[in-house]
Amino acid sequence: MKFLDIKQTPEQQQVVRKIQKSFGTAVGEYKMIEQGDRVALALSGGKDSWTLLHLLIDFQRRVPIKFEVIPITVETGFAGFDANVKKLEQYIEDVLHMKLVVLHDKFPEIIEKHKTPGTSACSFCARMRRGALYTYLQANNINKLALGHHADDAIESMLMSQQFNGVLWTQVPIVKAKDKPVTVIRPLILTYEQQMRDFTAIFKFPVVTCNCPFEGNPAHKRAVVKKQVKNMCEENEAVRGCLLKTCREMFEVIAAKRAARGEEENDDE
């Protein structure tokens, strides 16, 4: 068996089949991709976005639906990230025979001037990155934006929202962006982070970091909640699956509430 023309061992084939299944279930169940879609893939260079790009290309080859995949990277301006972007461009051109769209910006300067004191630089950066993507997508008639949020992201966001904000919220599989002709999709929303680690180890993607000085901060709320989930899973290995099941019910609740209010989501996370 081959995945994108790369041979695998039987063990590796099992990893690939499992992730294809969770990806396909999410895409099919939530009707994420339709005939004629132009799907932009937000490529950070991390394992999640690399996995999503390759799964989208694989899906494009295997299904009768005709759609376009456009990888896009926001070059944020953090010191040294430009060299990482060059690595992404080279791999995409040499291996995938595609072109990477690179959007250049100066996030460090903007964060320094405009971030509200006491708020997270990560969420502010995410909003700016999403804004840059939306601007490009609208200017180029691209109607879908695929993000690499996975099942563990949804679980952690759900628990963060409950513990720190007292609300029921998490990333949802598909949502129309507020005031924009763009639909955000998350095809990895039913795929666990460990699956991405295993998948990336097989195909040896050129994983890079964003060079953000705040990256990997152990005091960040997400890092704290990630540790909580890890500890719970050590006591009961079924916890992660149960939490994802809860998230899937919450997807429906969030969608129903939003529909009742006639709202679209301003989904910045």
- Domains of the chain by residue range: 2-261
pLDDT digits (tens, 9 = 90+) for 201-259: 999 999 998 777 667 677 788 999 999 999 999 999 999 999 999 999 999 999 888 88
Query: What is d(CA 92, CA 84) in angstroms, rounded to the nearest whole number?
Result: 13
pLDDT digits (tens, 9 = 90+) for 80-97: 889 999 999 999 999 999
pLDDT surpassing 70 at residue 160: yes
74 is in an annotated binding site: yes
96 is in an annotated binding site: no
44 is in an annotated binding site: yes
Residue 205's nearest CA partner among 58, 102, 52 is 52
164-176 average pLDDT score: 94
123 is in an annotated binding site: no
152 is in an annotated binding site: no
Strands (E) in the chain, as ranges, are: 2-3, 6-7, 38-42, 68-75, 101-104, 144-146, 174-176, 183-185
120 is in an annotated binding site: no
153 is in an annotated binding site: yes
pLDDT digits (tens, 9 = 90+) for 22-39: 999 999 999 999 999 999
In this structure, which topology does domain 2-261 adopt according to CATH? Rossmann fold (3.40.50)
* Burial degree of 248 (CB within 10 A; 0-12, 13-18, 19+): middle
